[in-house]
């Protein structure tokens, strides 16, 4: 027997479930949500739902409220700058950060308690946590994750750095997972042109940040390839794995050029052209560079044609 949690907070099920105690139904739904494999933290599903015991069915678009609350809590979590300024204004000899954290944790518990037990609150919260907000928040979280990976890589390249660092291979593996998650989220949830433009920008920023960092920066870093050949003198090789001779893998670039609409990529043309120049300067794999430049040339022609049509 399966139940569906609708956006207004009601739980519906098959006809034989009519009259079932609502608390019991909620417990079933909670168990389902806790076991759901949803690493991206937010999704939209489409189900056929019965409507007042009539034979007609309609598609219900609903969101998992528990996941939306988690996104909300992340978005309003006080950042380090806020905590720092708060400590300047608070009392002497008091654990300022604990005070702020206690207030925030209490606020989170309040939201979760009301969402679990108050149907009106569920409905109101569902209207506030719009689809656009949830998608934007998830993309922002992914952006901060890859920015942190590059920060750790740069810390590893500096022997005097006291910041948390990561070795080259570990950082490359983390970047690859993030790119895969971005594309999965893009395919599952992103629908507007604005969000697609942002996704393309994220991927291009990752690619540029990768090609700007070559092995010369990481001579003392565990995971760097000693005595690497000129064509391998690029961190991108670590992101995609060492390509076999004559058959370079193009993991990120394939995804970028094959899945993002051309009209969106044209808006990022100058950044892509700059990446091409950096690849040449760092001596990347010739087949890879040729493939990249061929796709950029297509965008250049597309952009020129678009400009002509607007005149």
Quote the tokens at residue 153. 């890589």
Residue 246 confidence (pLDDT): 46
Axis-axis angle for helices 80-89, 96-117 (nearest 10)? 120
Give the per-residue pLDDT at 223: 52
Close Cβ partners of 84 (under 8 Å, ≥ 6 residues apart)? none
Q: Enumerate the domain spans of the chain.
A: 4-63, 67-128, 131-310
| Per-residue pLDDT at 203 | 92
Q: Round to whole Å and give the CA distance between 125 and 137.
A: 16
State the Cα torsion 247-249-255-259 to the nearest 10°.
Answer: 10
CATH architecture, domain defined by 131-310: Alpha Horseshoe (1.25)
pLDDT at 116: 80
Give the position of tokens 């540029």: 208
Per-residue pLDDT of the chain (311 residues; tens, 9 = 90+): 444 444 444 445 555 544 444 444 445 445 444 444 443 333 333 333 344 433 333 223 334 677 788 888 888 887 777 777 777 776 555 566 677 788 888 888 888 888 888 888 888 888 888 888 888 889 999 999 999 999 888 887 777 777 777 777 788 788 888 988 999 999 888 878 889 999 999 999 998 888 887 655 554 444 555 555 544 445 655 555 444 444 555 678 888 888 899 999 999 999 999 999 988 887 666 777 888 899 999 999 987 666 543 33
């Amino acid at each position: 027997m399966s139940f569906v949690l609708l956006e207004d907070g009601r739980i519906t099920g098959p006809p034989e479930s009519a009259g079932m105690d609502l608390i019991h139904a909620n417990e079933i739904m909670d168990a389902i949500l806790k076991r759901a494999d949803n690493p991206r933290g937010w999704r939209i599903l489409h189900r056929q739902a019965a409507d007042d015991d009539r034979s007609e069915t309609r598609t219900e678009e609903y969101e998992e409220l528990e996941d939306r609350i988690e996104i909300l809590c992340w978005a309003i979590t006080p950042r380090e700058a806020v905590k720092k300024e708060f400590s300047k204004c608070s009392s002497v000899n008091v654990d300022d950060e604990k005070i702020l954290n206690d207030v925030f944790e209490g606020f989170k518990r309040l939201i979760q308690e009301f969402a679990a037990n108050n149907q009106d609150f569920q409905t109101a919260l569902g209207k506030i946590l719009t689809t656009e907000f949830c998608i934007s928040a998830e993309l922002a979280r992914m952006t901060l994750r890859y920015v942190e990976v590059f920060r750790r890589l740069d810390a590893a390249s500096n022997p005097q750095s006291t910041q948390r660092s990561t070795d080259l291979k570990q950082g490359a593996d983390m970047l690859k997972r993030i790119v895969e998650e971005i594309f999965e989220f893009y395919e599952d949830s992103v629908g507007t042109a604005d969000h697609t433009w942002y996704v393309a920008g994220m991927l291009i920023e990752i690619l540029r940040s990768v090609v700007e960092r070559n092995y010369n920066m990481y001579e003392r870093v565990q995971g760097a390839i000693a005595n690497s050949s000129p064509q391998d003198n690029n961190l991108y090789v670590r992101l995609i794995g060492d390509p076999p001779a004559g058959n370079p893998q193009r993991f990120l670039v394939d995804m970028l050029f094959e899945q993002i609409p051309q009209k969106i990529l044209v808006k990022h043309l100058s950044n892509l052209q700059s990446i091409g120049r950096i690849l040449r300067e760092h001596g990347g794999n010739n087949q890879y560079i040729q493939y990249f430049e061929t796709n950029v040339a297509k965008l250049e022609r597309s952009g020129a044609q678009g400009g002509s049509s607007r005149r």
